[in-house]
A and B are shown apart, each in its own frame.
Chain A
Amino acid sequence: MKVIEITDYCKRYDGVAAVEGVTLKVEYGELFGLIGPDGAGKTTLLRAICTLLTPDEGKILVMGKDVTQSIMDIRSLVGYMPQRFSLYQDLSVEQNLRFFADLFGVTEGKRERRLLQLFEFSRLAPFKKRKAGELSGGMKQKLSLSCALIHTPEILVLDEPTYGVDPISRQEFWEILRSIQKEKTTILVSTAYMDEADLCDRVALMHQGKITMVGTPEKIKASFHYHLYRLEGKDVRFLRDFFQKLPSVRSTQLFGDTVHVSFCKKPALSDWKNWQRDSRGNLKRWASQPPSMEDVFMESTEKER
Chain B
Amino acid sequence: MPEISVKTENLVRNFGSFVAVNQVNIEVYQKEIFGFLGANGAGKTTMIRMLCGLLKPSSGKATVGGLDVYRQSEQIKRSIGYMSQKFSLYEDLTVEENINFYGGIYDLNQKRIQKKRDEIFFSLGMGDYARTLTYDLPLGFKQRLALGCALLHDPRILFLDEPTSGVDPKARRDFWEIIHQTVALGTTIFVTTHFMEEAEYCHRVFIMDAGKIIALDTPTKLKNRYKKKSMQEVFVTLVEKQQEKKTNPMPDSNDKMS
Contacts and interface: CB of A to CB of B under 8 A. Distances in A.
B148 interface: no
Interface string B216-256: 00011000000000111001100110010000011111101
A139 B162 CA distance: 14
Contacts, number: 119
Interface stretch (A4-12, A174-182, A274-282, A294-302): A294-302
Counting chain A CB atoms within 10 Å of each CB, the highest count among B40, B86, B170 belongs to B40
Interface footprint category on B:
35 or more
Nearest to B162: A164
A218 interface: no
A202 interface: no
Given A165-B194, A168-B239, A115 B257 contact: yes
A64 interface: no
B165 A163 contact: yes
Contact of B240 (A112, A126, A136, A168): A168
A167 B171 contact: no
B95 to A, nearest CB: 15
Interface in A116-147: 116, 119-120, 123, 125-128, 134-139, 141-142
Given A126-B250, A167-B236, A37 B194 contact: no
Contact of B250 (A119, A137, A257, A298): A119
Interface residues of A, number: 48
Nearest to A36: B168
B212 interface: no
A241 to B, nearest CB: 11
A37 B138 contact: yes
B194 A138 contact: yes
Interface string B149-190: 000000000000010011111110100100010000000000
Contacts of B252: 125, 128
B168 A137 contact: no
Interface string A149-165: 00000000000100111
Given A39-B138, A136-B45, A138-B41, 12 more contacts: A37-B170, A38-B141, A38-B166, A116-B254, A119-B253, A126-B251, A134-B15, A166-B39, A167-B236, A194-B169, A256-B199, A257-B219
14 contacts: A38-B167, A38-B168, A98-B257, A111-B257, A123-B39, A123-B40, A125-B249, A126-B249, A139-B40, A142-B40, A166-B40, A167-B236, A170-B194, A294-B169
Interface of A: 36-39, 94, 97-98, 111-112, 115-116, 119-120, 123, 125-128, 134-139, 141-142, 160, 163-170, 192, 194, 237, 253-257, 294, 297-298, 301-302
